[in-house]
Amino acid sequence: MTNLIKQPASRSCFLCGKQNDFGLKMEWFNNPQKNQVQAEVIIPEHFNGYPGIAHGGIVAAILDETAGRAVMLDGNFEELFVTLKLEVAYRHLTPTNEPLHVAGWIIKRGNNKMKVAANISLADGTVTAECEALVIRPPEEISSRWEPEKPFWRVYD
């Protein structure tokens, strides 16, 4: 997997926030060869639902973020959309404390609305959960609230 392009992260996001002590501090990479955004994550035990099993809400959050980040596959990292609808299918239990692969892609691209998808898989390729989502360009009254955070939305080393 060469030629991966790292996506920006924020400082406070639950999933990617570099200064969020309670978050996962995930990093996503555009993979132009596969036309996917990809990440690796180990979900800590304190995010379980049952011992050794990730809580479904955490799984959904990872899928939601990954699918939504697919809109930045073209390299426009200012292209931020919000989720209007998220459908999650839990195929197998998602373990905590094990390496997981996450991938997201675009199903249908539009100017103000896109259909995107994502999945989480184990090291052996078994898909534990997948989603489809409808994401939209947020209205100005929402996106304007993000202005103070823009200096912190960047690629971190």
DSSP state of 130: E
- Cα 88 from chain centroid? 13
Contacts of 114 (CB under 8 A, 6+ apart): 70, 71, 81, 106, 107, 108, 134, 135, 136
The pLDDT assigned to 2 comes to 65
Structural domains in the chain, sorted by start = 31-148 (3.10.129.10)
CA distances, 122 to each of 5, 42, 72, 125, 128 (Å)? 23, 10, 25, 5, 7
The pLDDT assigned to 17 comes to 95
Residue 12's nearest CA partner among 125, 126, 153, 107 is 153
- pLDDT digits (tens), the chain, 157 positions: 468 999 999 999 999 999 999 999 999 999 999 999 999 999 999 999 999 999 999 999 999 999 999 999 999 998 899 999 999 999 999 999 999 999 999 999 999 999 999 999 999 999 999 999 999 999 999 889 988 988 989 999 8
CA distances, 85 to each of 19, 94, 103, 152 (Å)? 28, 22, 18, 27
DSSP state of 143: H
Q: What's the token pair of residue 45?
A: 């035990």
H or E segment and range at residue 25 = none
